[in-house]
Amino acid sequence: KNYSKLSPTVDMRDKFQTQSLDFEIYASMFIDKCYEYNEKRACELLLRQIPLFGNVTCMQLAISSASSKLLETACFDQTLNQVWFDKLSLSNHQLK
């Protein structure tokens, strides 16, 4: 999204915006499927720190980029509620 604002041409701006929306849709569909399969693990995925991206979580990325598609998922709501009510630790989860 941010690259689209800095793009020198309209074509590049449109391309970045389209790719951003496509990725948001893909990410929300992915987390929805994970949530259908295993709610607890899907919530943990949103909170798992990713070293490649500076130890930020998917949840942090979604919030900072205002990814409305991902923010609107049931998994995101559930994870936020669990963190709020201290039922899910914010520490890095080791998925096996």
pLDDT by residue for the chain (96 residues), tens only, comes to 555 566 677 787 888 888 888 999 999 999 999 999 999 999 999 999 989 889 999 899 888 888 889 999 999 999 998 888 876 555 545 554
Closest Cα to residue 35, out of 77, 91, 89? 77
89 domain residue, yes or no: no
Domain count, the chain: 1
* Backbone angles phi and psi of 75, in degrees to 5: -65, -45
d(C-alpha 89, C-alpha 86), whole Å: 7
71 domain residue, yes or no: yes
Q: Are 9 and 16 in contact (CB under 8 A)?
A: no
| 3-class DSSP state of 72 | coil
Q: What is the pTM of this model?
A: 0.74
| Owning domain of residue 43 | 2-84
27 domain residue, yes or no: yes
